[in-house]
Structure 1
Amino acid sequence: MGESRTELLAWLNDLLQVGYTKIEQCGTGAAHCQIIDSIYRDLPLNKVKFNSKQEYEYVANFKVLQNAFDKHKIDNAIPVERLIKCKFQDNLEFLQWMKKFWDNYFPGGTYDAVGRRGGKAADTPVRGSTQKLSTGGAVKKSTSSIAPARATRAGPRSSDMARNAEPANNNQAQLEAEYQKALQDMQQQVMEAKLTVEQVEKEREFYFLKLREIEIYVQQQIETGKHPEEGVLSHIANIMYKTEEGFEIPAGEGAEEETF
């Protein structure tokens, strides 16, 4: 099991010198870009939009990340379409994978996260926040001084939101079930592939030993020179030592003697 939400946020904020409060903020892709940069130190962070607020900006960030994956041959799919929706579970699972990758490949030492991103702030607000922007552009937080008429309408709206949340929860459970099933199928395929490889290796070893016995016998009979079938034996030996174009017998093979 991977790290918890709290552990991941603490690690992320410490590594990148940011103030993320929710895993969903990773859906912008900016944090993932800088995690990989902390390992390889070669991402073009000037192309990363650290305060992005729109999905098309998130997609642009993930393109930078995908290019880095391709460059360094990181064999893991990036579920961009799910991540940019800023859902908790999808972003949690991907961040857990990123943490494991970082644990394995981080070279150590000090990483100047702020300097690498040119001093840009990186605390992207979570999409769907209750904060609103006034006409002047300043952040306007809700206060307790709400008119009674508005307060009476708050109840039905809250209940509507709760009812709307039920299908979303059901959909999340379905996605998780599909994910678990796909994971089990992949594990089963890997196990079957391993068994197939083991069987092939056993068969290869079996036939190799048989051919080796024949090779030794033919060599012994040719060396004695007492058999009228020497021409046949030489022909068999030639077939055994025949190679295809581009194939070379490893040094030492075919000349060593075996004793029984």
Structure 2
Amino acid sequence: MGESRTELLAWLNDLLQLGYTKIEQCGTGAAHCQIIDSIYRDLPVSKVKFNAKHEYEYVANFKILQNAFDKHKIDNAIPVERLIKCKFQDNLEFLQWVKKFWDNYYPGGTYDAVARRGGAGAGAGAAGGGFKTTTSNNKLGTPLKKAPSATAVRASRAGGGSTTNAGGLSRAAAASSDRTAELEAEYQKALQDMQQQVMEAKLTVEQVEKEREFYFSKLREIEIYVQEQLAAGLDGGAHDHVLQHISDVMYKTEDGFEIPQGGEGAQAESAIAGGEEETF
């Protein structure tokens, strides 16, 4: 049986230096991306949208996660459509699986989650509840060390200068805006691609219908000709057996198929049997 909601949140917040209060907040996909990054250290964490508020942003995060799964040959399916709805049970079950995977493959040592995501925290995101950068006690006894807080990391890099901190925040805001624009562009491109595919499918259907009508009309002409010749030569014409063979091939059906009563095939066969020409 997997860990409880409380245990999972404690582990998640301790590993990633976040302040998640609900399992449903994992529906943005951001936390899952960084959990996998803590194992392999090769995900493009800077592209992960930690402040995601819309489903298309969640989908972009899960796309990054799926790329990581493909790269490292992780064969577990990601139920994206259910997770992005931010329902408790779906996200709980997937997070339990992720935790078990992490227990098996985490290399140990220190993972500086804040530095990996460039000092960014996480916004309100899915299912409400403010996110904050914080630390919590490691109640699960997992082999990890506490990473320094976002404030400590920025202070150590900037030497405690408030001006540098302000500049860092400004750059972070600009980077966030760039990522949003990039995701918007990807979304519009995907929409245009789908519209183009729909248009191509319609054109293909129209072409197939034209070809069907073309060949059907030719086959119909042959059918009428054969019926006329059979009706005129029922007294034992030299070519009756050839025409009869052609007629048999045309009306041949697969096992289990029955010609509907009153259908074209039935009318044609009736005309041949009665020696009368079918009228159309």
Higher relative contact order (CA 8 A, sep 6+): 2
